[in-house]
Structure 1
Amino acid sequence: MPGIFSWISGFFAATGPELQAQEPRLFNPVSGDSPTTEQNAALVQNLEGHLFCWLLDSPPAALKTCTHKISPVLEQLEQRLHDQTIEELPRRPLTLPMLMQVLSDESSDRHEVTDIILSDPSLTDQLLQIANSPYFKPGDQIIESVDHAVFVLGLDGIRSVISAAIMRPMMAARNSREALFAQRVWRWGLACARAAEMIARIQGQDTSAHFMVGLLPALSYITLRREVHRIHLASGDRQEPAPAVMRQALARYHWTTTQLLANEWNLPPKYHAYLLAAERPAPDQEHTPLNDGMIIGTREALRHAHQRNMAEEKLLYLVRLDENQLARVRKALLRMLED
């Protein structure tokens, strides 16, 4: 991907205290001359803090703790990202190139989609599991075959199921230590992806592309957690990394990791553009479905988990949706999370 490597190199141009000052944020409201810009930044920063407390199952004080172990771990992680030697970076699924072609082609028919899925037995199993999960199944009817899934969900619906089926095995817990984190990250990722997909539909944009990029931040979180654990174990320390170490790793490097994932998987240029627009919105640019979807998805996932989140009336300050549109998105997320 032309330009992606220079973008990554530019991220690492600042180091030490300067990098700390420029720490990327998960949510990046569009900036401008509005007097509420500073207020909005504070709102999303608090929301991000609540998310880390939930995902890492730690109180705020533990995530702010400074330890002597933070710097060496992050230095190694930064070097691996810079050198593109992240050992836990998921490799591209074998069928992804064919699937990306068929997913981006509006003229694709159901038989073409079915044939590609059936060519990969593991993808077939994952797809049927996902299609029958409460997140996607439209009713009580059991979906028994890939052709049936395509028929019931339609081509638009099956595109999102395929994206989830591709990523689900990569985000499944490997052991009991990461089980809670993996479960919560997957739930959060699905909420953000579904919200981004719905907002893209409202705005007449590519729904399947926004669903997939909506899952990438969650995949970057599990990737970074595993890499930090790998670095930590290599140092000879058998204890779990401190929550503050993990929070800093996730906060600093999640957008860099999403771009590396998109590059590793050779995703189309527009996927990189969606990620970059959410990470670094230009002054006064239009809101992006990904940024708005992540804010709404995060708020609803936290609210449903009975965690501190954000007042409902504040959402309308942050996203480019009217009250009725926001209510539709929230209703769909609530139904998904409750099931």
Structure 2
Amino acid sequence: MPGFLSWLTFLFNPAQTASSTAAPQRPDLEAVTSCLPSPQIDGRAQLEMQLFCWLLDTDIGGLEAADEREKAVFGEMERRLHDGHIHLPRQPLTLPMLMRALSDQNADRKRLEKIILADPAVTSQTLRMANSPMFRRSEHDIDSVDQAIFVLGIHGIRSVISASVMQPMLAARNSREAVFARRVWQWALSCARSAEQIARIRGQDGSVWFLLGLLPALSYLTLMRELQRIVLARNLDTAARPALIHKALAAHQWALSQLLATEWNLPPHYLSCLLEAEKLSPRANHSPLADGLLVGTREVLAHADQPCLDAESLPGLVDLTPEQLLQLRYTLPLLKG
């Protein structure tokens, strides 16, 4: 199963054979510099590899190092996923109300305010999120839910609620996963915000694509935690290494995202978008999710001073004009971490 970015390579290479798709040639990444313009194929492969290097706080060598003992761990992960025995995050209590609000284009301010105020934790998190660099509109703090809805608007507050509901599930549980959890949340926001803005540019409901853009990050963290459980259960003398985590995430991220969408009873549209992406449908080529993942990944790496694609190469990779792309990138500030 291809990675979130590497599957895009296939879409720009329709003449690629089945054998080359199954076993793609690994690009030479030794000479990657901070922002390196590359051909489309190599650029996407580099971007995905560098994302994993940053998330896992390692280098290319750390992603490739093999350990025979970990084959059994990877096999156990596959069995658990296949049998539905993987530990999934609980559906947030406010998610059903949120989904109804997202699907109802006529939801008014009072209904959204009721959703936020139904859970004190969500209320507090929503206000923090509304005042974060990603969402705040001015130098003045937002002090109430009513003010947040007024300042951000109906569509804006929907995305803030989505982020507020999802963020606790993406928070670190211990020091071992602290760096990964912090960075994967930054990546989640960058990709979700990108997908949201791209959808709006195309006249679609951005808040739906914002929530979709958060699911890949949650699948990453869920898979990593499951690997750690397996490693502990097998009494291995070390935590799951970056190479094993990378292999598991690249192989099973789509399946886990789809499983989450199914278990949480998300509307069929959400699952179809994830399935479309996994199956390399030509229609998924420039979906808000596909383009949002690419732009969001590039921007979060750039803000973190990591190797990434040259910004000037993006117009050739996504279905946006240079002006639209510049405007989109302007909405992704202060993601260092």
Same fold per TM (> 0.5)?
A: yes
After TM superposition, the structure 1 = structure 2 runs for residues 33-112 of structure 1, keeping only pairs within 5 Å, are: 39-87=39-87, 89-112=88-111
In the superposition, relative to structure 1, how do residues 84 and 35 fare at CA in structure 2: closer, same or farther (>3 Å)? closer
C-alpha offsets along residues 102-128 of structure 1, whole Å, 9 cap, x if unaligned?
Answer: 122111110111112211112112111
Distance 2:323 2:210 in 1: 21
- What is residue 274 of structure 1 aligned with on the other side? 273
2:259 maps to 1:260: yes
- What is residue 26 of structure 1 aligned with on the other side? 4
Give the Å deviation of 1:33. 6.8
The answer to whether the Cα contact below 8 Å between 1:55 and 1:184 also exists between their aligned partners in 2 is yes
Give the Å deviation of 1:42. 2.7
Q: Which ranges of structure 2 fall in alignment gaps of 5 or more residues?
A: 22-38
In the superposition, relative to structure 1, how do residues 332 and 212 fare at CA in structure 2: closer, same or farther (>3 Å)? same
Give the Å deviation of 1:281. 2.8
| Backbone CA RMSD of aligned residues | 2.0
- What is residue 132 of structure 2 aligned with on the other side? 133
Indicate the larger mover: 314-323 or 215-224.
Answer: 314-323
The answer to whether the Cα contact below 8 Å between 2:116 and 2:123 also exists between their aligned partners in 1 is yes
Indicate the larger mover: 35-44 or 270-279.
Answer: 35-44
The answer to whether the Cα contact below 8 Å between 1:110 and 1:155 also exists between their aligned partners in 2 is yes
Q: Which ranges of structure 1 fall in alignment gaps of 5 or more residues?
A: 1-22
TM (norm. structure 1) is 0.88
* Amino acid in the other structure paired with 1:156: H
C-alpha offsets along residues 32-85 of structure 1, whole Å, 9 cap, x if unaligned?
Answer: 677899953332111100000000001101110111122111111111111111
Q: Secondary structure at the match of 2:11?
A: coil
Distance 1:49 1:71 in 2: 21
- What is residue 241 of structure 2 aligned with on the other side? 242
Give the Å deviation of 1:337. 2.6
The answer to whether the Cα contact below 8 Å between 2:304 and 2:336 also exists between their aligned partners in 1 is no
Distance 1:285 1:54 in 2: 26
* Amino acid in the other structure paired with 2:105: E
In the superposition, relative to structure 1, how do residues 283 and 143 fare at CA in structure 2: closer, same or farther (>3 Å)? closer
Q: Secondary structure at the match of 2:143?
A: coil
In the superposition, relative to structure 1, how do residues 283 and 117 fare at CA in structure 2: closer, same or farther (>3 Å)? closer
2:191 maps to 1:213: no
TM (norm. structure 2) is 0.89
Distance 1:128 1:285 in 2: 34
Q: Secondary structure at the match of 1:337?
A: coil
C-alpha offsets along residues 270-298 of structure 1, whole Å, 9 cap, x if unaligned?
Answer: 11122122222324665111010110110
The answer to whether the Cα contact below 8 Å between 1:225 and 1:246 also exists between their aligned partners in 2 is yes
After TM superposition, the structure 1 = structure 2 runs for residues 191-202 of structure 1, keeping only pairs within 5 Å, are: 191-202=190-201
In the superposition, relative to structure 1, how do residues 191 and 327 fare at CA in structure 2: closer, same or farther (>3 Å)? same
* Amino acid in the other structure paired with 1:181: F
Indicate the larger mover: 235-244 or 262-271.
Answer: 235-244
* Amino acid in the other structure paired with 1:168: Q
- What is residue 300 of structure 2 aligned with on the other side? 301
The answer to whether the Cα contact below 8 Å between 1:182 and 1:222 also exists between their aligned partners in 2 is yes
In the superposition, relative to structure 1, how do residues 36 and 251 fare at CA in structure 2: closer, same or farther (>3 Å)? closer
In the superposition, relative to structure 1, how do residues 50 and 101 fare at CA in structure 2: closer, same or farther (>3 Å)? same
After TM superposition, the runs of 4+ consecutive aligned structure 1 residues lying more than 3 A away are 32-39, 283-286
C-alpha offsets along residues 283-327 of structure 1, whole Å, 9 cap, x if unaligned?
Answer: 466511101011011011111111111122321221111111111
2:121 maps to 1:122: yes
In the superposition, relative to structure 1, how do residues 33 and 164 fare at CA in structure 2: closer, same or farther (>3 Å)? closer
Distance 1:74 1:34 in 2: 31
- What is residue 14 of structure 1 aligned with on the other side? none
Distance 1:58 1:285 in 2: 31
In the superposition, relative to structure 1, how do residues 33 and 177 fare at CA in structure 2: closer, same or farther (>3 Å)? closer
Distance 1:140 1:182 in 2: 28
Distance 1:36 1:326 in 2: 29
In the superposition, relative to structure 1, how do residues 34 and 280 fare at CA in structure 2: closer, same or farther (>3 Å)? closer
